[in-house]
Structure 1
Amino acid sequence: MIRVLIADDEPLIRAGIRAILTSADDIEVVAEAANGHEAVEQARRHRVDVALLDIQMPVMDGLTALAELGRTAPDVRVLILTTFGERENVLRALRHGGAGFLLKDSAPGELMGAVRAAAAGNAYLSPAATRHVADSLAAGPAEDRREEARARVARLGEREREVLALLGEGLSNADAGRRLHMSEATVKTYVSRILAKLDCENRVQAALLARDAGLG
């Protein structure tokens, strides 16, 4: 059973997410919070597997709560709840170890799929939303970040760079496998190797690095 925390300062949002998640046989909502401070305390107290954090919360916002959980409860996988109006915050969250992000108007199936992916140790990367966020930022990354990304990508072999480029496009392992004529298991092996070589915590960070390096 996947143990989930929902943190949002709007009771109706929490109630709606709870109703969706509790309809699944393998997901249990064990805690709720109205601010980031409560979220951190509840996540530790209830030993949750996945925390859904709204970015905009009083007392302690979602990004601060994400950082605090990273320090004090690193096993908790964090999914950020957001809207398209918070693009820069979303990007910051992903760069700092968030397991992915969900739009608040996501379909129920997408919400449950994201929770399951995060619980399994995978990052949830919505292709459409990720491309929208990345493409809506400044025309390109800051030059120092671009150069750093290119230097890190240079550690990879040619096939690894091809896989990384597809991560940058937001493709799943299955879709990347079809594009490269590989099995999904082979792509998964490449992804694990890429994360290790790039010092990335998850595929979301790797995808953003790919875009910074000009691969995505």
Structure 2
Amino acid sequence: MIKVLLVDDQRILTEGLKMILGREKDIRICGVANSGKEAYELCKWNRPDIVLMDIKMPKMNGAEATKLIKRDFPETKVIILTTFNDDEYIYEALKNGASGYILKDATPDEIAEAIRTVYNGGALIQPEVAVKVLNKFSEMAKSKEVRNIDSRVELLTSREKEICRLVGEGKNNKEISKELYLSEGTVKNHITKILNKLELRDRTQLAIFAIKNNLYSD
């Protein structure tokens, strides 16, 4: 059973989600919060598997709450509920450890499937939201933000930097293996080693790291 905490300052939305997700046999709503601060407090007591959270809320927004939740409850995974107008927060929440983004107008089946995907270790960003994330990455590539190189880059070998670059370009293991003439297993092992070296959680964070540190370009 997947324990889900719902977080939104609009009660009508949380009540609707509670009713919709309550029909799923493998999902149980373990709590409802109306702010990021309350969500963090409920995580202490309920230890949800998934936090399904709005990004714009009073007291503490979803990006800030994600940072605290992932810091203190790393086993809990966060899916952000977003709208087309949330550009400023999207990258921040990803950087803070969110595992997925889903639009508020998604169908009940899409929301339930997003929860299952993230619970099983995957990441989920709907195409419409992915465009915004890529646009943010593009802005970063042109800004001063990318010039502050993280010292951890020096821990990487030339091959590892090359793999980071390809991950930053959005390539999957199969595509990387073809480009570098390596087996998929070797690529997977390299990525695992890179994540450990850089103390990053997942591939999404690695892509962000690559772009922030100019590893996206030759």
- TM-score computed with the length of structure 1 as normaliser: 0.77
Q: Structure 1 residue 110: deviation in Å?
A: 3.8
Corresponding position: 1:115 with 2:112: no
Q: What is the match of residue 192 of structure 1?
A: 192
Further displaced range: 180-189 or 192-201: 180-189
Unmatched segments (≥5 aa) in structure 1: none
Q: Is the 8 A contact 2:64 2:93 kept in 1?
A: no
CA distance, structure 2, for counterparts of residue 190 and residue 45 of structure 1? 37
Q: Is the 8 A contact 1:149 1:210 kept in 2?
A: no
Deviations 1:122-144 (A, max 9, x none): 44344552243231563625335
Q: What is the match of residue 34 of structure 1?
A: 34
CA distance, structure 2, for counterparts of residue 16 and residue 143 of structure 1? 43
Deviations 1:82-125 (A, max 9, x none): 12322221111111222232222234444334322332344434
Deviations 1:53-99 (A, max 9, x none): 21111233223322332343332212222123222211111112222
Q: Is the 8 A contact 1:124 1:204 kept in 2?
A: no
Corresponding position: 1:21 with 2:18: no
Instruction: Report the RMSD for the aligned CA atoms in angstroms.
Output: 3.2
Which structure 2 residues correspond to residues 114-153 of structure 1 after superposition, within 5 A? Answer: 114-126=114-126, 128-136=128-136, 138=139, 140-148=141-149, 152=153
SS at match of 1:200: coil
SS at match of 1:84: coil
Cα distance change, pair 109–208 in 1 and its aligned pair in 2 (3 A):
farther
Deviations 1:40-64 (A, max 9, x none): 2222211211111211112332233
Return the letter of the residue paired with 1:198.
L
Q: Is the 8 A contact 2:156 2:194 kept in 1?
A: no
Cα distance change, pair 139–43 in 1 and its aligned pair in 2 (3 A):
closer
- TM-score computed with the length of structure 2 as normaliser: 0.77
Further displaced range: 113-122 or 84-93: 113-122
Return the letter of the residue paired with 1:211.
I
Q: What is the match of residue 177 of structure 1?
A: 174
Q: What is the match of residue 63 of structure 1?
A: 63
Alignment length (residue pairs): 212
Q: What is the match of residue 208 of structure 1?
A: 208
Unmatched segments (≥5 aa) in structure 2: none
* Structure whose alpha-carbon radius of gyration is higher: 2
